[in-house]
Structure 1
């Protein structure tokens, strides 16, 4: 059950947790460290998050919700999505959540305890199916996987680049990875 927000404390906890999780990893960051970093008592932190796993889920869930909304919209239509447009929408969602994307790429293993890995893998499979088609061969699926993975890596490794420059370069590279799939 979600707890009420009070004076931005919940958001401050999330911001500090994201910073520490990204720097140290989830398993190496305790709720006590987060509380101390913020000058809070551990019970004050527990008021907002009952566990480290709940805190991790609260950080990742908005990304998952946004990607699932994107997927639902594209899957709902009886048309093959334009690959560049789909990759552009995926880039935009991922860019909005780039701090979480960075955290995920650096500590994906620690997320297995939360059940989020399975959800992320599921939406990646759905994106591949949208990009490559439902009956795609291994080569087409591999192209779609490389396009998606490369796009995500660009957000993390080139994150200091101007967003429009990065968007154009990443989409060009992802479409090149798609090869003939990019022009369907």
Structure 2
């Protein structure tokens, strides 16, 4: 059983690497199998389709994001800076998969995953500014949250603490919070 799990994880990692370099649609399941030295039927044993493989790659990101937002919503009055810092931590943890999401927007939109990510931003905006944010507040949130996401990918070699401090400071400025 552990062997099966190891193989599945190896498939996910190899697919993630190939998808990131070649794109989802340009990467065949045969290519993934060849890279791993397994047969295509062995790959199909773990994943019935490319779509299932993509979903398996992004599901941890989606589950973690949903858990983070639900926890913040249940708490109610979350200090804005804590929300910003938590959002940074989430994106930093999942930056490779967020990059995949951004580079494969069409494929991921077809799977319904883009709508989920966009809905998160709306929820974050309501957490930050209340149930009916103004247009100015919404634009500030788009700049701040989208910019934070970009910073985690743009500076992959930056020390975590420095990147977090700079990103959170910039996001707070964009949101006009302290």
* 1:127 and 2:109 are equivalent in the alignment: no
Report the aligned-residue RMSD.
1.6
Partner of 2:75: 77
Query: What secondary structure is seen at the aligned counterpart in 1 of 2:4?
Result: coil
Partner of 2:17: 19
User: Judging changes above 3 Å, is the alpha-carbon distance between structure 1 residues 90 and 5 closer, same or farther for their aligned structure 2 residues?
Assistant: farther
**For the residues of structure 2 that align with 1:95 and 1:163, how far apart are their CA atoms?**
8
What is the aligned counterpart of 1:98 among 79, 95, 100?
95
Query: What secondary structure is seen at the aligned counterpart in 2 of 1:8?
Result: helix
User: Judging changes above 3 Å, is the alpha-carbon distance between structure 1 residues 5 and 61 closer, same or farther for their aligned structure 2 residues?
Assistant: farther
Offset of 1:77 from its aligned partner?
A: 2.4
Offset of 1:4 from its aligned partner?
A: 8.3
**For the residues of structure 1 that align with 2:161 and 2:46, how far apart are their CA atoms?**
37
**For the residues of structure 1 that align with 2:14 and 2:32, how far apart are their CA atoms?**
7
**For the residues of structure 2 that align with 1:97 and 1:157, how far apart are their CA atoms?**
13
TM-score (norm 1): 0.91
**For the residues of structure 2 that align with 1:78 and 1:34, how far apart are their CA atoms?**
45
Aligned length: 178
Q: Please, which moves more after superposition, 113-122 or 152-161?
A: 113-122
TM-score (norm 2): 0.94
